[in-house]
């Protein structure tokens, strides 16, 4: 069970969340940069993904797309759906965080000769990421547990593995409690990582006074 967790649940979470972060930053920037057409596309993406259940999205991609001749293996399929789903939520988190960075710094960036992307990369995103870190950690922890939905599209992650063991031994209470504990363990570790990360990112606590 723990092995299934380490071999499937954790990689599924890490890969999907990494892709989701890239999607989130790009979608957030596209909206803020006010690029015609792309902005509408970004809004549409967020609207659709946030407005439909994750499970339904999994079913459409895994069971639905083969009707169009597009067959994807269970694991990559789960990665695609989780990334797109999480990306939409995180895009909104990032957008709010970017907007919370005092905008005068952008003007100052232009005035010293930087362009939009340089300002975003060196000045705005590092600060936005600090603000977004707690809500993003929230999303990540939520995602660890959402990966159990992948059992429905035959990805043998932790829950599916447990179901198989239960089917064999009929010890539902003990085994499901056990898998719950494993999820709890993963999320506890993430909570520690979050606390450590928040401290590291907090520049107001950083000692800058080296001469």
Partner 1 sequence: MKEILRVENIHKQFEGLEVLKGVSLTVNQGEVVAILGPSGSGKTTLLRCMNFLERADSGCLTMDGETFDLGRITKKELARLRRKTAFVFQNYNLFLNKTALQNVTQGLTVARKMPRAQAEEIGMAMLEKVGLADRAGYYPHQLSGGQQQRVAIARALATDPEVIYFDEPTSALDPELIGEVLGVIQQLAAEGRTMLVVTHEMRFARNVSTHTLFMEGGVVVEEGPTKEVFDHPRQERTKAFLQGQEESRA
Q: How far is the CB of 32 from partner 1 (least distance, A)?
A: 18
Q: How far is the CB of 130 from partner 1 (least distance, A)?
A: 8
Determine the Cα–Cα distance for residues 202 and 129; give it in Å rounded to an integer.
Answer: 11
Which of 146, 25, 34, 35 lies closest to 85 in space, CA to CA? 146
Residue 111 or residue 167: which is nearer to partner 1 going by CB? 111
Q: How far is the CB of 33 from partner 1 (least distance, A)?
A: 14
Residue 188 or residue 199: which is nearer to partner 1 going by CB? 199
Residue 51 or residue 208: which is nearer to partner 1 going by CB? 208
Q: Residue numbers of the site for partner 1 (CB under 8 A)?
A: 102, 104-105, 107-115, 118, 122-123, 126-127, 130, 203-204, 206, 208-211
Residue 173 or residue 211: which is nearer to partner 1 going by CB? 211
Which of 90, 84, 95, 186 lies closest to 139 in space, CA to CA? 90
Q: How far is the CB of 207 from partner 1 (least distance, A)?
A: 9
Contact 148, 186 (CB under 8 A): no
Determine the Cα–Cα distance for residues 1 and 178; give it in Å rounded to an integer.
Answer: 9
Q: How far is the CB of 208 from partner 1 (least distance, A)?
A: 5
Residue 37 or residue 113: which is nearer to partner 1 going by CB? 113
Q: How far is the CB of 98 from partner 1 (least distance, A)?
A: 13
Residue 37 or residue 104: which is nearer to partner 1 going by CB? 104
Contact 149, 59 (CB under 8 A): no
Contact 23, 87 (CB under 8 A): yes
């Amino acid at each position: 069970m723990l092995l299934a967790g380490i071999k499937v649940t954790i990689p599924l979470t890490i890969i999907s969340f990494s892709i989701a972060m890239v999607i989130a930053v790009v979608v957030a920037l596209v909206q803020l940069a006010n690029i015609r057409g792309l902005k509408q596309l970004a809004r549409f993406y967020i609207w659709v993904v946030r407005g439909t259940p994750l499970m339904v999205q999994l079913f459409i991609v895994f069971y639905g797309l083969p009707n169009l001749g597009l067959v994807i293996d269970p694991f990559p399929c789960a990665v695609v759906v989780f990334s797109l789903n999480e990306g939409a939520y995180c895009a909104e988190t990032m957008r709010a965080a970017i907007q919370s960075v005092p905008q005068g710094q952008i003007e100052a960036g232009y005035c010293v000769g930087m362009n939009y992307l340089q300002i975003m990369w060196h000045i705005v995103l590092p600060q936005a990421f600090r603000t977004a870190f707690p809500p993003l950690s929230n999303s990540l922890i939520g995602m660890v547990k959402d990966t159990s939905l992948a059992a429905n599209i035959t990805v043998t992650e932790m829950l599916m593995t447990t179901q198989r063991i239960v089917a064999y031994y009929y010890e539902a209470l003990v085994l499901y409690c056990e898998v719950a504990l494993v999820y709890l363990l993963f999320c506890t570790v993430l909570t520690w990582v979050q606390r450590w990360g928040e401290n590291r990112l907090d520049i107001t606590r950083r000692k800058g006074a080296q001469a």
